[in-house]
């Protein structure tokens, strides 16, 4: 049902630990297998990968595999401008850009950002990610709707998916037409089964086993659909729930993939993993503080357009940099903590602030 996510949940942390321990012998480009066939081929182009549900969804606090989104704060603060900030970029340029963003967030122009202003901004940036996803979905839908009839069958999608994995499109289409065995490797077959289940979940009632453009958007981006959001939550709980009660305890939420910590550096990574997940569970997800996270609580947490969540997030983001404890953000504070908001650490952050502002 959710094979590729279960593989991620089991292997991702272990891979991360090994990366730190074996950096000198591991290819820095190696990644855990995910959504890919074992068939050798050249790297897929962006256009090919657009027909696949992305592993990462911008503006969601939790990944589909149950891991916390490390870039969430930057995504909801920068929106589609996130790629413009780079650690290697010229610091003065990044500082100027950040000052421009500050003036936009500061809606009432009092040179201070309140929680309400930050909430408003977060909602705008989340909507920006949504609009970008819709735009990309149009291109993706055209790619899988070769006859242009406005609907895509599972077989049409399956052909395009396998073609993007390096299989011969004409041969695959012919075999599917004749109900022949595709002779796929085990990993590809498992991924297809998971995609098929997700495909039918995205098929709105009355189910016709065809996806239109809107349903295809739900297939690629479940955060756009309340029904698919519930499905996504159900899959995450299934992956993390150890006793089958369809709820998550703290111990289940912070449990680590099976592995052995072999050195101090790896132990520190593990400790940080536990600390972050414990804090998120207790302070954010478990809204009624009863030590149990239900599917409803997780759904509220995962909903990117939940205004209450956006306000809580705004308050948390402000608290990180609020050195004078006035519950607002001033320009010098946001510049000083630029790495938290943009991923880019500014040198001499206060230089020429007043001249540029």
Q: Phi and psi for 293 in degrees, rounded to 5? A: -105, 120
- pLDDT computed for residue 27 by the predictor: 37
- pLDDT computed for residue 266 by the predictor: 64
100: which 2 tokens?
A: 């421009």
How far is 275 from 169, CA to CA, in rounded Å? 47
- pLDDT computed for residue 15 by the predictor: 41
All residues at 6 or more sequence positions from 269 whose CB lies less than 8 Å from its CB, including other chains = 16, 17, 20
Contact in structure between 122 and 73 (CB atoms under 8 Å): no
- pLDDT computed for residue 255 by the predictor: 83
How far is 79 from 77, CA to CA, in rounded Å? 6
Phi-psi region of 206 (alpha: psi -120 to 50; beta: other; left: phi over 0): beta
SS3 281: helix
221: which 2 tokens?
A: 């981006």
All residues at 6 or more sequence positions from 49 whose CB lies less than 8 Å from its CB, including other chains = 164
> How big is the chain by its Cα radius of gyration, in Å?
22
Q: Phi and psi for 322 in degrees, rounded to 5? A: -80, 75
CA angle 55, 121, 78 (to 5 degrees): 45
Q: Phi and psi for 324 in degrees, rounded to 5? A: -90, 0
- pLDDT computed for residue 102 by the predictor: 96
- Any alpha helices (H) in 204-263, and if so which ranges? 213-220, 226-240, 250-254
User: Which residue has tokens 């804090």?
Assistant: 279
The 10 Å Cβ neighbour count of residue 119 is 20
- pLDDT computed for residue 237 by the predictor: 94
Instruction: Tell me the pTM.
Output: 0.75
Residue 61, CB-side half-sphere exposure with 13 Å CA sphere:
21
Instruction: Quote the percentage of the chain above a pLDDT of 90.
Output: 52
- pLDDT computed for residue 257 by the predictor: 57
The 10 Å Cβ neighbour count of residue 230 is 17
How far is 304 from 320, CA to CA, in rounded Å? 21
- pLDDT computed for residue 212 by the predictor: 95
Give every residue of the chain whose pLDDT is below 70, as ranges: 1-50, 86-89, 256-267, 269, 347-357
CA angle 261, 263, 267 (to 5 degrees): 55
pLDDT tens sequence across 172-216:
999 999 999 988 999 999 999 989 999 999 998 888 889 999 999
- pLDDT computed for residue 92 by the predictor: 82
- pLDDT computed for residue 226 by the predictor: 85
Contact in structure between 350 and 332 (CB atoms under 8 Å): yes
139: which 2 tokens?
A: 């291109």
Contact in structure between 78 and 125 (CB atoms under 8 Å): yes
DSSP 83: G
């Amino acid at each position: 049902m959710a094979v590729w996510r279960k593989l991620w949940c089991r292997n991702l942390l272990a891979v991360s630990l090994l990366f730190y321990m074996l950096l000198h012998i591991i290819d820095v480009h190696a990644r855990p297998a995910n959504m890919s066939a074992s068939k050798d081929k050249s790297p897929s182009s962006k256009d090919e990968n657009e027909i696949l549900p992305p592993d990462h969804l911008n503006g969601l606090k939790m990944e589909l595999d149950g891991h916390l989104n490390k870039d969430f704060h930057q995504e909801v603060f920068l929106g589609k401008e996130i790629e413009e900030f780079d650690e290697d970029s010229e610091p003065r340029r990044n500082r100027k850009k950040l000052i421009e963003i500050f003036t936009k967030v500061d809606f009432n122009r009092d040179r201070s950002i309140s929680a309400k202003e930050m909430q408003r901004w977060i909602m705008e940036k989340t909507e920006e990610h949504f609009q970008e996803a819709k735009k990309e979905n149009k291109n993706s839908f055209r790619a899988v709707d070769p006859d242009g009839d406005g609907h895509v069958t599972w077989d049409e999608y399956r052909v395009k998916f396998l073609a993007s994995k390096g299989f011969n499109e004409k041969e695959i289409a012919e075999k599917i037409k004749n109900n022949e065995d595709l002779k796929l490797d085990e990993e590809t077959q498992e991924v297809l089964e998971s995609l098929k289940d997700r495909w039918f979940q995205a098929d709105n009632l009355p189910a016709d086993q065809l996806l239109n453009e809107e349903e295809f958007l739900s297939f690629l981006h479940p955060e756009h659909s309340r029904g698919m959001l519930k499905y996504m939550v159900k899959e995450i709980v299934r992956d993390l729930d150890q006793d089958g009660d369809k709820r998550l305890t703290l111990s289940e939420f912070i449990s680590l993939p099976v592995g052995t910590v072999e050195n101090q550096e790896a132990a520190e990574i593990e400790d940080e993993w536990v600390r972050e997940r414990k804090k998120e569970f207790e302070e954010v997800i478990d809204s009624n503080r009863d030590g149990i996270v239900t599917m409803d609580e997780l759904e509220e947490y995962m909903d990117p357009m939940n205004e209450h969540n956006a306000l809580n997030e705004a308050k948390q983001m402000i608290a990180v940099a609020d050195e004078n404890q006035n519950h607002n953000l001033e320009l010098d504070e946001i510049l000083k903590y630029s790495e938290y908001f943009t991923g880019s650490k500014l040198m001499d952050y206060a230089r020429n602030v007043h001249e540029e502002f």
